[in-house]
Amino acid sequence: MNRRYGKLLALALLPLLMSAGCLARQVKRDGIDMRQTVIQLYADQAMDNLVSAYENKPFVQVAYSKILVNDTDTAKTSGGIEQSVDETHPLGTAALAKFTRVFKNIWNLGEDLTRSRKLSYWAEPVTNADDVYEAYIQFAKDPNLFVATREPPKCDVHIQKKCHGCYYWVPAAAAPAFQELVLRTALLRGQDTIVGYRERRCVGLRLIGSLGNEGDRFWIDFDAPVPNGASTLVVILADGRKYKQRALKDAKVKDGAPVSALEVQLVPDSPLRDSAVGSVVRVYSDLYPPEVLDSNGPVPAAYSGVMDRSLDRLRQAR
């Protein structure tokens, strides 16, 4: 009987021994799960902020820190043995001298595995980085990057969220721009590194066409040529105020070739509509900063932001 119970004990302990041998794989899975959880936190935050920016509602960016994932695993095992005896007696007088006895052993083994996971973190609002909130507003207001529809999207979607009776989504073609948005607003903090600029003066603002409720397209004319390419303009008004404005290349001119004007898209209430002409403009070219120009013409810079290239490519494709 002791040998039987010894076997039962060994079977009961087997799941615990096996779970201990899987510890390395469990740690690996936990590490992957934690990283995916952090990624999902920032992706969800980006979509929530874009929806609020699109609807002209207040929103806040938070920085997550001290993230802790605590898993508690509980393993319970139980076992038992049930023994029964069946006796068979022949009829008549032979029953006094002969019978058959059969022992039946029924073994049972039970196991109960449970896992409890707790996620805790600190969330601190970002209140000292205006560029974070400007990036969300710029992205949300660009119909090439962020779309809101009453019906489900009928094209390839990179990421979407349904709320307030609408579908909010990022087209598949704008996936690099969304990735850049999340990285810049959540992880790659700090001022953008822009190499050099060309100082020009705005000598004209010519209407190209309307963008409906979003504003209008203009050619901004300079007093001297600049390389044809996507650029960031810093317009310094006469009263000292500074405005940052994205500029697009002339699609009919070769990239990097000298041009006297770039395209800008201005919202209806932009102060540049009335005050840009005569102002000093610093032109920060994405691909052709002054330091990389040589005697043979423009040379592409080693880096340009993914979000800026995506914006340019999507808009020029319209």
Q: Does residue 270 sit within a domain?
A: yes
User: Both tokens of residue 219?
Assistant: 């050619």
Q: 205: which DSSP letter? A: E
- Answer yes or no: is 182 within a domain: no
Which residue(s) pair with 157 in the sheet? 171
pLDDT at residue 248, rounded to an integer: 93
Q: What is the mean pLDDT of residues 269-282?
A: 92
Segment of 17-26, 213-222, 294-303 carrying the highest mean pLDDT = 213-222
Residue 81 lies in a domain: yes
Question: Chain centroid to CA 40: how far?
Answer: 7
In three-state secondary structure terms, 79 is: strand
Phi, psi of 45 (to 5 degrees): -65, -40
Q: Is residue 249 part of a domain?
A: yes
pLDDT at position 298: 43
Structurally, the chain folds into a number of domains equal to: 2
Q: Is the pLDDT of residue 168 over 70?
A: yes
Whichever domain contains 262, its CATH number is 2.40.30
Note whether residue 138 is domain-resident: no
pLDDT in tens, 219-266: 999 999 999 999 999 999 888 888 899 999 999 999 999 999 999 999
Query: Is 231 inside any structural domain?
Result: yes
Domain that holds residue 291: 198-316
- Do residue 211 and residue 117 come from a single domain? no
Mean pLDDT of 11-16: 56
Higher-pLDDT residue of 300, 265:
265
Terminal CA-to-CA distance of the chain, rounded, Å?
84
Do the domain assignments include residue 128? no
**Can you tell me the distance from the alpha carbon of 65 to that of 68, in angstroms, rounded to the nearest whole number?**
9
The percentage of the chain sitting over the pLDDT mark of 90, rounded to a whole number, equals 28
b or e along 138-167 (b: 16 or more beta carbons within 10 Å of the residue's beta carbon)?
bbbbbebbbbeeeeeeeeebbbebeeeebb
114 and 205 together in one domain? no
Mean residue pLDDT of the chain comes to 76
Looking at 78, 105, 121, the residue that finishes a domain is 121
pLDDT of residue 135: 85
- Residue-wise pLDDT for 49-94, tens only, equals 999 999 999 988 888 777 666 666 666 666 565 656 566 656 555 5
**Domain assignment present for 78:** yes
DSSP element (H, E) containing 180: helix 175-182
**Mean predicted confidence (pLDDT) in 173-195:** 74
- Going by the DSSP 8-state scheme, the letter that residue 153 receives in this structure is P
Among 73, 100, 121, which residue terminates a domain? Answer: 121
110 and 209 in a single domain? The answer is no
The pLDDT value given to residue 173? 86
Q: Which among 81, 96, 121 is the end of a domain?
A: 121
Q: What is the residue whose two structure tokens read 């590194």?
A: 193
Residue 157 has pLDDT above 60, yes or no: yes
Residues 117 and 204 in one domain: no
* Count of other CB atoms within 10 angstroms of residue 3: 7
Identify whether residues 116 and 202 lie together within a single domain. Answer: no
| β pairing state of 231-236 and 297-298 | unpaired
- What local confidence, expressed as pLDDT, does residue 219 receive? 96
What pLDDT band is residue 204 in, cutting at 50, 70 and 90?
very high
* 287 confidence band (pLDDT: 50, 70, 90): confident
Give the residue-averaged pLDDT of 145-172.
Answer: 90
